[in-house]
Structure 1
């Protein structure tokens, strides 16, 4: 591909079609007019990542679609046109939640921009308490895809917490995982890490603005329990991180 035609999101452009069967044939992007309409509602330029997302999946996310969350630009525009959500210089609706029991919709919080993207939070359509999710939509999409199409398919899984002594403590995990043969398909911030190799995948995520200290959750999937033990043992021995395993699926006997 000529440099002038290179994607602004090479990580996701490579990862998603590789792990999600049929995605490249089924995702469908928004029209330039739809993107312009949404940008006028936002009252500001859309984050470059969000423009890429809309251009690829703004009409249909294909097999990546969520069961109750609708990310389509048509649904977003309708919500504003119907007055369900009012334009706000700080928040932009990016996904409509159809679950009536927990009708918390996804919004961008432009008060927290990050890496050509912005923080993803949940809240009621009319406002109220915020429930922060990921520092970027990029990280949310990549985390969810890897969990659904890699980790969940692994015969053995475990989860728990990683603790460190500094704000960017997850950076100490990178050389350990690289030495174990893992790659990082998508670059992330200090609260998130995504690692994969042929027989295993590890996902780490912390809640932005949660003030819970230097601690993040991890989910690890692999071919068997011994593989996972070796990975966690290397992390514990070769880095300064503290590993707390909370659960195994299936349970170990």
Structure 2
């Protein structure tokens, strides 16, 4: 994870700053159980500053998390732990860990609107690791590529990405970090692709994708190989810039 972030996020090594051990311990006391190992790593590296990886309205800092609990904006909960406060004025949706949904040394990340019931959660990513890696590739690789497209892979197979991954390997792509069945991250020198599904909603028949590369011909070839070799339905909803 460190290799990926330091490689794709400009200046991150000089910008990120970790939280103090005391702040991490205070968050763990609020959680009432050991923190997921990945979250402990995240706080130790970026608990004060995420550098250019920071989100526009989401504050992941340990200080802000502790302030929100101290101000009783959010109460300690046996399952949900605030990890990012949303500062949007309209319909803010802060992020919480669901500590009862651990995965690969991490936990499920869900969004909840201010004042919403604890069961009214919108699952975002199966892990915080996948959320950060997905965002880094999207913002610092895909968004900078000359041609991009987005759409969906769909089919009857219960794990869509298990059909995509062998095709991507054959095309020379590597996966920068390991992921679960809902998130796919693929890179090669001239292209990158990110895929996403919704955890715990039973939407196993589709995954959204964003693909970027040097030109439309490269992207069409990649998608054509996936459609041919995997038997998945490949639907492109948008090209950016729009094709003539």
Q: Aligned match of 2:165 in 166, 174, 191?
A: 174
Matching residue of 2:98: 109
Asked if the contact 2:147/2:239 (under 8 Å) is kept, the reply is yes
Matching residue of 2:150: 159
Matching residue of 1:41: 30
Q: Aligned match of 2:82 in 87, 93, 98?
A: 93
**1:157-236 alignment runs, 5 A limit:** 157-236=148-227
Per the TM alignment, residue 240 of structure 1 is displaced from its structure 2 partner at its CA by 2.6
Comparing 212-221 with 185-194, greater Cα deviation is found at: 212-221
Q: Aligned match of 2:137 in 146, 149, 152?
A: 146
Deviation string 1:1-56 (CA, Å, 9 cap, x unpaired) is xxxxxxxxxxx110001011100111001111110000000000000010010010
Asked if the contact 1:206/1:216 (under 8 Å) is kept, the reply is yes
* Aligned mates of 1:160, 1:180 — CA distance in 2: 19
Q: Structure 1 residues 213, 178: closer, same or farther in 2, change over 3 A?
A: closer
Asked if the contact 1:70/1:96 (under 8 Å) is kept, the reply is yes
Per the TM alignment, residue 177 of structure 1 is displaced from its structure 2 partner at its CA by 0.5
Asked if the contact 1:176/1:235 (under 8 Å) is kept, the reply is yes
Q: TM-score, normalised by structure 2?
A: 0.97
Asked if the contact 2:83/2:95 (under 8 Å) is kept, the reply is yes
Aligned residues: 242
* Aligned mates of 1:166, 1:110 — CA distance in 2: 29
- Aligned residue for 1:211, secondary structure, equals coil
Per the TM alignment, residue 165 of structure 1 is displaced from its structure 2 partner at its CA by 2.1
Asked if the contact 1:47/1:118 (under 8 Å) is kept, the reply is yes
Asked if the contact 1:167/1:190 (under 8 Å) is kept, the reply is no
Which structure 2 residue ranges, 5 or more long, are not aligned?
none
Which structure 1 residue ranges, 5 or more long, are not aligned?
1-11
Matching residue of 2:7: 18
- Aligned residue for 1:210, secondary structure, equals coil
**RMSD between aligned alpha carbons?**
1.0
* Aligned mates of 1:33, 1:125 — CA distance in 2: 28
